[in-house]
Amino acid sequence: MHHTAIVFLEFGAVLLGLGILGALALRGGISPIPLYLIAGLAFGTGGVLPLATSTDFLEIGSELGVVLLLLTLGLEYNADELVTSLTGNARAGIVDLVLNAAPGAICALLLGWGPVAAVAMAGVTYATSSGITAKVLSDLGWLGNRETPTVLSLLVFEDLTMAVYLPVLTTLLAGLSFVQGAVSVGIALLTVSVVLVVALRFGRFIEAFVRSPNSEVLLLKVVGLALLVAGLAQQLQVSAAVGAFLVGIALSGQLAEDAHALLAPLRDLFAAVFFVFFGLQTDPAKILPVAGLAALLALVSMITKLLTGMYAARRAGIAKAGQARAGIALIPRGEFNIVIAGLAVGAGVHPDLGALAAAYVLILAAFGPLAAKLVQPFITSIAKRA
């Protein structure tokens, strides 16, 4: 059979399968991310039906998925909001960082994986899934609650931390010397700072260039600019994902809303491909040996995120029911965690890191929304008694 025909057949089957899995997740009221990861495990090395020829195509699609995920995440905020979040919620943000990065780093060090793996695992356990959390808040009617701005501010703080963390991680993964690494990190942080300053001072000029009354032209300009900056960022030893995130931050107001609406279907398509491709890189046989460790790590992470949310909400003067909701909303892990693990796996940090991260995200991406639904009646009863 012709090579192109095989690629079309495999890719079509993958997308159709993902559509069916997404429908099942929607019916069950859970995030589709765990199902997408399982699909990748089924089609990858050691799976029940390994793909033969379309993995290169899926790899490009997965990289586009990361760029689009971070671009649309950046569109949710503007530079002013990021700066305000950094100054107004710094204490809660630091508590979040320490409590939730520590379990992953300690786990990697205890397993003898080395400091680079510890830095990668710290990121895997630190970041909450903004997408899943936003869906939980919307589905359960929590968007109008008093604790929601606190939850969102922590998510913004995490996103800004990622803008600094990812350049540091990619430098470590590249295996550069101390001097080369310091220079690379310095360039990365300078690039991030310059983009933030440009977004704050000259964002209106960027918006004027990108703005168009035609949706097709607007989509082409936004995606083209994001890919251009992502490629440039990659050349400067800054993650392409961070470059795309900063492009999103530079756009605000109605333009950002229009761009987000246009990008959403494209993002969802390639993000699903990304999760599948991560699963393709993970041998299912390696997950079972680390399943117990992943469950223990997930349990610890649930506790630390719950404590983080309760602490942040209490500082904002929110009652106990709201504190509990804030903590539960922060439990899910998803896209950012897999992005970080994918970078580490691609660099060959440790053969078991990908399997542990996949199992960890599978547990928390599925259990986070489910836990929120299960405890909703209990929290409501607490609020009524209060």
Q: State residue 103's pLDDT score.
A: 95
Q: State residue 297's pLDDT score.
A: 95
Environment class of residue 110 by beta-carbon count within 10 Å: exposed (0-12), middle (13-18) or buried (19+)? exposed
Residue for token pair 């400067």: 236
Q: Quick one: average pLDDT of 97-124?
A: 93
Comparing 141 with 251, which gets the higher pLDDT?
251
- Count CB neighbours of 90 within 10 A: 11
Residue from 281, 369, 301, 288 nearest 33 by CA: 369
Residue length of the chain: 386
What pLDDT digit, counting tens, does each position of 29-59 carry? 776 777 887 888 777 766 666 665 556 667 7
Q: How confident is the model at residue 98 (pLDDT cuts 50, 70, 90)?
A: very high
CA–CA–CA angle 190, 98, 78 (5° rounding): 45
pLDDT of 143 strictly over 70: no
pLDDT of 131 strictly over 90: no
Q: State residue 293's pLDDT score.
A: 93
Q: What is the DSSP letter of 263?
A: H
Q: State residue 57's pLDDT score.
A: 67
The segment with the largest mean pLDDT, out of 25-29, 142-146, 189-193, 359-363, is 359-363
**DSSP assignment string, 320-340:** HHHHHHHHHHT----HHHHHH
**Cβ-based neighbours of 370, under 8 Å, separated by 6 or more:** 30
Computed over every residue of the chain, the mean pLDDT equals 80
Q: State residue 365's pLDDT score.
A: 79
Residue from 382, 315, 371, 303 nearest 103 by CA: 303
Give the integer Cα–Cα distance in Å for 349 and 118: 10
Query: Helices 353-385 and 335-346: crossing angle, nearest 10°?
Result: 160
- Percent of the chain exceeding pLDDT 70 equals 81
| Reported pTM | 0.71
Three-class SS state of 225: helix
Q: Quick one: average pLDDT of 171-187?
A: 70
- Percent of the chain exceeding pLDDT 90 equals 15
Tell me the HSE value of 349 on the side-chain side, using a 13 A CA sphere. Answer: 31
Q: How far is CA 159 from the centre of its chain?
A: 9
Residue for token pair 């300053």: 197
Q: State residue 39's pLDDT score.
A: 82
What are the boundaries of each domain within the chain?
1-384
Using an 8 Å Cβ cutoff, are 316 and 333 in contact? no
Q: How confident is the model at residue 300 (pLDDT cuts 50, 70, 90)?
A: very high
Which strand (E) or helix (H) includes residue 162?
Answer: helix 148-173
Using an 8 Å Cβ cutoff, are 93 and 309 in contact? no
Environment class of residue 375 by beta-carbon count within 10 Å: exposed (0-12), middle (13-18) or buried (19+)? middle
Give the integer Cα–Cα distance in Å for 24 and 244: 31
Q: How far is CA 355 from the centre of its chain?
A: 17
Distances (CA, A) of 357 to 226, 281, 304, 362: 28, 12, 17, 8
What pLDDT digit, counting tens, does each position of 162-172 carry? 767 877 787 78
Architecture of domain 1-384: Up-down Bundle (1.20)
What pLDDT digit, counting tens, does each position of 232-263 carry? 877 776 667 777 877 887 887 788 888 888 88
- Count CB neighbours of 292 within 10 A: 10
Q: Quick one: average pLDDT of 290-309?
A: 93
Q: How confident is the model at residue 288 (pLDDT cuts 50, 70, 90)?
A: confident
- Count CB neighbours of 304 within 10 A: 23
Residue for token pair 């630091």: 94
